[in-house]
Amino acid sequence: MTILPLIFSSSSIPQASLFISITSSSLLHILPYLSINSIIIITTTTNTTMPFHPTKDIPDLTGKTILITGANSGLGKTSVLEFSRHNPSQIWLAARNLTKAQSAADEIKQQVPTARIHLLELDLSSFASIQKAVEVFLSTATRLDILMLNAGVMAAPPGMTPDGRYEVQFGTNYMGHALLTRLLLPIMEKTAKRDDAGVGGRVRIVAVASHGQRYAPPGGLQFETFKTNGESMGPFARYGQSKLALVLWVRMLAQLYPWLTAASIDPGVVGTTLGDGATGAPRYIQFLFKVALVLRLAASLENGVRNQLWAAVSREVNSGEYYDPVGVVGKSALGRDEELARRLWVWTEGELDNYLGVRD
């Protein structure tokens, strides 16, 4: 069965705006719905994926503590489920809405009654919420073996985070995770010194990036837009910028903290609710997201989650790399730009220092 990437572009989005893996037979179903202004480019792909089966390839996690952001639905929720099957001592399900988080936990416990799930209220668009969540976590947890940075928003309309600090996608997808990680690094370093640390003796940080990083603006990052509402850029350019920032930041984490293993990954196009928030995208793009789900063109959650689970437990992970697909180092030229990564790191640390009141 041939897999085809379908790439749409339009005058409103200068670069390719959507990438969907489809079968050749499904193409006939989607063609009648395409905008006449769309350009369709079809080529075959040959990417091979490293075999990874969560049920048998995730090791015993007895004694481990895991924290996953955006875990009340989609890939985050599925990650909680798969990890729960392997007996970790604590899984922290972090989400903005505790009611939805509780529902997710209840559903998971129906499949894994022994799951030890802790709920954590966390809004990554709010630095105050992040600090409070870390305080709650540290009041109970004594270690942290795996930190999965899974939460995100996509193609949101121009706007700022509620506290007025950053463009909303950059603030939520990148800066929120950067602050969360910085506040959790001390307990992770403490865990790393234990004989039973992490997986294979390594604590892990996994950042869920995206193939959408290719939609970042020319040069990769426009620093002058970080603290604006982003109206000078398109919705997917803002999204791509936030995800590219994650990839670059992970590279610096790996260099500066050699006692941990950090990786960024692309889950691919997956049937999640992420597209529901893409209200800043053109209507035909919003429609195509829905078509992809209805026609089952997107990968299932069970398949889509494999890359981040692999990165969290595999001994084959090279710290600092970006993986797309499972086990394969992704082709991201901007994501390997060391100078850009260092510039972003210095800028980010300066922002966090200012917020935390750190002085030289």
Task: Give catalytic residues, as residue numbers.
Answer: 239, 243
Cβ-contact 313, 33 below 8 angstroms: no
d(CA 133, CA 354): 20
DSSP-derived 3-state class of residue 198: coil
Q: What string of DSSP letters covers 321-346?
A: -EESSTTSB---TGGG-HHHHHHHHH
- What's at 134, amino acid-wise? V
**How far lies 55's CA from each of 59, 72, 81, 83, 116, in Å?**
9, 21, 11, 9, 18
Burial class for 186, CB neighbours closer than 10 Å (0-12, 13-18, 19+): exposed
Q: How far is CA 331 from CA 13, 68, 213, 233, 323, in A?
A: 22, 26, 11, 24, 9
Rounded to whole angstroms, how far apart are CA atoms 353 and 174? Answer: 16
Burial of residue 142, with CB atoms counted within 10 A of its CB: 0-12 exposed, 13-18 middle, 19 or more buried: exposed
Dihedrals φ, ψ of 68, to 5°?
-130, 125
Nearest to 262 by CA among 251, 273, 275, 246: 251
| DSSP 8-class letter at 189 | H
Q: Copy the structure tokens of residue 137.
A: 């976590």
Do residues 244 and 331 touch, judged by C-beta distance below 8 A?
no
Q: Which amino acid is at 257?
A: Y
Q: 349 by DSSP, 3-state: which?
A: helix
Bond prior to 51 in cis (omega within 30° of 0): no
